[in-house]
Amino acid sequence: MVTKKDKPASKSKTTGAVKKKALPKSEPVTKTAPKKKISSGSSSGSKYPWLKKYPEGISWDAKIEESPLYELLETAAAKFPDRYLLDFLGKKYTYAEISNLVDRAAKGLLAQGIKKGTRLGLFLPNCPVYVVFYYAAMKIGATVVNFSPLYAAREVATQIDDSNTEVMVTLDLEALYPKVYKMFERTEMKKMIVCPLKDQLPFPKNILFPLLKSKEIAKLHRQDKRLIFFNDLIDNDGQSKAAKITPRDDIALIQYTGGTTGLPKGALLTHANVTANASQADMWFLHDGESKEKVLAALPLFHVFAMTAVMNLAVKMGSEIVMMFPRFNPEDAMKMIQKHKITFFPAVPTIYNLISNHPDVKKYDLSSIKACLSGGAALPVEVKREFEELTGCKLIEAYGLSETSPAATANPLNGLNKEASIGIPFPGTIVKIMSLEDPLKEMLQGEKGEICISGPQVMKGYWNRPAETGASLVKGLFHTGDVGYMDEEGYTFLVDRIKDLIICSGYNVYPRVIEEAIYLHPAVEETTVIGVPDKKRGETPKAFVKLKAGRSLTAQELEMFLEEKISPIEMPKMIEFRDELPKTIIGKLSKKELVAEEKAKQDAEKEASKAKTKKEK
């Protein structure tokens, strides 16, 4: 992991501290292509241009570990039995203690008839039993299905039905337990494992919680034999054989996509996919196997980004995970960073932005952070600069999807870090830019196309969706649905989601280009841009903007600010200021709610127009 001496010098936070760079502009569909093919390669003769700038000490063609996922924990527990693995609200668990709980949970699951191939649903926030059941499932060969604890009952039922989940695990909380218990009536769920929160808390919280928070504890159906209680489940000696796993074939998880552009799909991730990605990340951060990192789990472990970048990577490195519960809060995060001397802080851009713009940020010492890994959404350049200046850490942007376990590319921790780029491929990973019209045609250097990935972390396919699998996996390449381009040094630049592309008067307009320009304004905290129907242009950009606390800005002032930064065709014709912008369960800005709002508004206007015309007749 990066050391303090590697950190960039912290700059004073003045308005003119960072020079604003010109942003690339969207181009017409008929763009003239450069002459050079990406695959034609580097001056060294390699066909992979990223090898020109590959970080020192990392071999792109190194052997990638592909093993049963349970062995990650087994190996770490054997090597570091007395190191702390988890800190949950002050209660600490060593690697040996968690490994023992995993073994006992695994034997208990087997006793309940849960075995290789059984779908085990985890309906849990960040807490110790999440880690226990995740690795216990891996040991017996069961398939984990992650559920967001924020799901409504309808969403839980839909995912249980789609995945054929037979057993669900949850906490004894009023916010969680009733939703899952209802699934006995609504789905084919057979059993439910209930875990008491109080037993995971330190003294005296474990005593006070049932007394002070009694309304938050659910009334359990203790006579229902379909319920299995955690303490009964683990009441055994933990002696059981691990299932025989074929890493490249056996499914570790059905990981549902975010559904930001449609209905969620279940990505089939094998044991090899997930262990390979943890191994790739471990190589990327140059971990020496000895340094004791402290990782803040601000993101939910049920999300694929945190599953790998927080949990599996931490276990691979023998690190300690400090858990936030029940969810991220910027002030709590700052307190925990200061108190626990957090060294590694993976998060999404909105989290870094919330901390940088928090009114009390100067009260906290955040200098212990060595490195941050941003994923889940595009990292605005201004957000990166501001957070790095604030903390002195290295904030690197990575890129991936549920389908790639998730990481595929990243900027180097020590090496050339290109702003606005999603970096270069992880070891063993190939990135190609393919034509949006012809999926078999590779684009030329610098030309926009679909980002496509191959590597050991790429999923096996989508659960029960052969058509989508066939469309996404073409000739060994996973087609991401993202538009981007690659430069001559092999760095990839994410332009936008294909589905977010705005066709405006025949031109391709990319919302991210507009968003990056808006973020340059010092009064802007968050922004997102969507396309809305326009009679003359087909579609036109509309910007939604949240301002920083205490700042003011008018639409006209913002338009004047943008005049020299984006082209006239990209200029938002509508700007709407809001107190809050919609976000996903992990804090990513979400467009689909805004698109739905605009569609509803347009439909209402059409109906009103029809009614008016009818009345006039």
Number of H helices, E strands in the chain: 18, 26
Q: Which candidate, 607, 610, 612, 543, places its Cα nearest to that of 578?
A: 543
DSSP string, 455-496: STTS-SEETT-HHHHHHHEETTEEEEEEEEEE-TTS-EEEEE
Tokens 């984990």, located at residue:
144
Cβ neighbors of 402 (< 8 A, separation 6 or more) are: 255, 256, 257, 258, 267, 304, 459
| Bridge partners for 180 per DSSP | none
pLDDT computed for residue 608 by the predictor:
80
Q: Per the omega criterion (within 30 degrees of 0), is the bond before 406 cis?
A: yes
Which one is predicted more confidently, 321 or 33?
Answer: 321
- Contact between residue 232 and residue 221 where contact means Cβ atoms under 8 Å apart: no
Helix axes 95-111, 70-79, angle to 10 degrees: 140
Q: Specify the amino acid at residue 226.
A: R
CB-count exposure of residue 468 (10 Å: 0-12, 13-18, 19+): middle
Please state, in angstroms and rounded to a whole number, the distance separating the CA atoms of residues 538 and 280.
44
Query: Do residues 399 and 267 lie in contact, with contact meaning Cβ atoms separated by under 8 Å?
Result: no
pLDDT digits (tens, 9 = 90+) for 406-419: 999 999 998 899 99
Asked whether 543 and 572 are in contact (CB, 8 A), the reply is yes
Q: Given pLDDT bands bounded at 50, 70 and 90, which one contains residue 1?
A: low
Rounded Cα–Cα distance for residues 589 and 566 (Å):
22
pLDDT digits (tens, 9 = 90+) for 77-134: 999 999 999 999 999 999 999 999 999 999 999 999 999 999 999 999 999 999 999 9
Q: What distances in angstroms separate CA 456 from CA 250, 324, 405, 427, 430, one per listed residue?
A: 14, 31, 9, 10, 10
- Rounded CA-CA distance 250/142 in Å is 10
pLDDT of 165-180, one tens digit each? 999 999 999 999 999 9
Q: Helix, strand, coil proportions of the chain in percent (round to 5)?
A: 35, 25, 45
Q: Is 110 helix (H, G, I), strand (E, B) or coil?
A: helix
Amino acid 537: pLDDT:
84
In three-state secondary structure terms, 325 is coil
Using CB atoms within 10 Å of the CB of residue 578, give its burial: 0 to 12 exposed, 13 to 18 middle, 19+ buried: middle
Q: Write the DSSP symbol of residue 542.
A: E
Q: Is pLDDT above 80 for 612?
A: no
**Confidence (pLDDT) at 46:** 59
Supply 394's token pair: 């290295």
Tens digit of each residue's pLDDT (9 = 90 or more) over 300-309: 999 999 999 9
CB 163 within 8 A of CB 127: no
Is it the case that residue 28 has pLDDT exceeding 80?
A: no
In 492-550, beta strands by DSSP E: 492-497, 502-504, 507-509, 524-534, 538-547
DSSP H or E segment with residue 377: none
Query: Judging by beta carbons within 10 Å of its beta carbon (0-12, 13-18, 19+), is residue 112 exposed, middle or buried?
Result: middle
> How does residue 497 score in pLDDT terms, banded at 50, 70 and 90?
confident
Nearest to 479 by CA among 450, 501, 443, 499: 450
Listed residue (53, 57, 1, 20) closest to 418, CA to CA: 53
**pLDDT mean over 214-228:** 96
Domains by residue range for the chain, with CATH: 4-62+328-497 (3.40.50.12780), 70-323 (3.40.50.980), 501-616 (3.30.300.30)
Give pLDDT, residue 611.
76
Both structure tokens of 61: 């063609």
**Range with the poorest average pLDDT among 254-263, 405-414, 524-533, 561-570:** 254-263
Helix extents (H) in 194-294: 205-212, 230-233, 271-284
Q: Which residues of 550-563 are buried (b: 16+ CB within 10 A; e: fewer)?
A: eeebeeeebeebbe
**What residues does 407 pair with on adjacent strands?**
400
Closest among 67, 91, 95 to 247, alpha carbons compared: 67
* DSSP notation for 299-323: S-TTSHHHIIIIIIHHHHHTPEEEE
Q: Answer with the residue of higher pLDDT: 295 or 613.
A: 295
CA distances in angstroms from 209 to 86, 198, 213, 362, 558, listed in the order given: 20, 6, 5, 32, 49
* 136 token code pair: 């216990």
- Higher model confidence: residue 609 or residue 408? 408
Interval 11-40 mean pLDDT: 37
Residue 427 has φ and ψ, to the nearest 5°, of: -50, 135
pLDDT range class, residue 214, cuts 50, 70, 90? confident
pLDDT of residue 615: 74
Q: What residue type is 519 in one-letter code? A: Y
The pLDDT value given to residue 284: 96
Whether omega before 204 lies within 30 degrees of 0, making that bond cis, reads yes
Distance CA 458, CA 79 (A): 29
pLDDT: which is higher, 32 or 328: 328
Residue 425, classed as helix, strand or coil, is strand
